[in-house]
Each structure stands twice: as C-alpha cells, then as structure tokens.
Structure 1
C-alpha cells in the first residue's frame, strides 16, 4: 500500500515538472513501485513463516523438557514405589559388594589410568607418543 502511494506521488511530481521527457522517468518509477511492493509481500510472507516456525520450535522445546514418566520395564512408577525400588537395589548392591572378595572389580569405583598403546606409559596417548615407530618398548609389567 505504502509503496503504491509513494509511486503515485513520484509520478505526479514527474508529470508536473517541466522541461523534461517524463516517459523514461515514469517507467523507472513504475518498476521501482513493483519491486518495492514485491519486496513488501515477500517480507510479510517471511514474517508469517518465521512466526509459525518459532511457534513450532517452542512446542518442540516444551516437549523435550517434559520429564519422562514411563519406565522401560513398563508402566508409571509412583514416588513411593520408586523409593522402595532404590532402597532394595541399594541393599542388594551392598550385599554383593560385601560377599565378593577383594579381587572383584564390582565394588571398586577407581578407574585405571589410560595408557599409551605404543609404549604402555600413562600420561599420554599414541598420537603424541615420542617413541619412534620402529622401536620396541621395554615392558616392566
């Protein structure tokens, strides 16, 4: 709307101006008005598309934030049932840890430090190892 009114205003000013041929100027003003109205229409369409995409995005984010209520084993679990389940699992884990000897890794929470696959030393990996590719490492373990 605004682009059309601006074009009409410009054309009237060109026609009222004397000592010039208005044909070329009127054609240019006409093209300018068409391009401006096309740009405004595209802008309105893009704004509508952005609004729908933002709304869809909000719904998807909201869906992702909803906590999961279903368990893999099936069914909805109440808070009291969940606490009982955790307590029973904790007691069985304690019993297993006490029953197993010191040779088991089930009770240990310490993780072995990673070693280099070329020289078997800790503190670096094979990509940054300074050992030459042809050398054979001396393993003490």
Structure 2
C-alpha cells in the first residue's frame, strides 16, 4: 500500500478534502419497508432440551433438533447428540406408557364384557324361571300378593258380595294381618334357617 493509494481512498470517500455532497451523490439509496428484527439465535429456541412428557413436548423437541442440525456448521455436535438422546428417551417413555395403557384398556374391556355377559345371563335365567336372589324373590312374592288382592277385589266387586265391607290384607307367608311377605317376621326366620343350611 502506497501513500498515493491511501490518499486516493480518502479522496474517493469524500474525507479529504471534506466534501459531503460527493459522498451523498455516490450513494445508491432505495427506499423499502424495514423488516422486523430477528431475535438472536439464543432467544430463538424457547424450548429447552429435555425429555418430552407429552406429544406437544415431543414436537417441540423435534423442532429444536431440526434447528440445531440446520445451524450446525463445523462446530461440536455435542448439543445435537444430547438433544437427540433426550428425544429418544422421551419417545421410549411414551412408547412404554402406550403399551401399558393399551394392556389396561384390553383388560378393562374383557372385564366389562364378562360382566355384561353375566348380567344378560341372569336376566335370561329369571325369564326362563331360573334362580332368583332373595331380594328378587321377595319382590316377586309381594307382586303376587298385590295381584291376588286385585283379583280378590275385582271378584268381590263383580259378585256383589261383601259390599260395604273392607277387606284386610294378609301376609302371604303366615296369613296374619298387619304386614306382608317381604316384612314377615316368620319369613325372616325361615330364610335365615335356609341360608345356614
């Protein structure tokens, strides 16, 4: 570099002799709308590399891996390896959870199906005159008593006999008044003795 070359550089820039108009006339100014400033690369990654716990975390982790791979140019790949390891660990965790949940759903469906089969079988047996529970038997007896009472009242109305007389209800087990079969004290003794056998 020579002194003459340096002076020509200052003269071309408009510094020596000082001439601002020469500098402005050489500028190529194009007016345009300014673009918003981009955040620095440190602020661009809002997601911190960690093991994903749900699908949203997995997507964020994947995006982070893609950005780091795109930015990686000759620098150490340690951060990429750490991020990929965390992603793999999260994916493995989600896969294990999915396996457990799938097995639990399968078990619950089988239990639900068995329970519904049992309920259908009970109803079918009762319709066909099969076994009844004690409560169902009491209900059936009470219904029979009500039906018998209705038939009796109907016969007494149609026959004209016993007009003006009130009929008293009687227990279907012991024949006494004041209670009916499901609440019969003698019926309780009979059912408790049959249960013990």
TM-score, scaled to structure 2: 0.32
Bigger Cα Rg: 2
Higher-helix-fraction structure: 2
TM-score, scaled to structure 1: 0.42
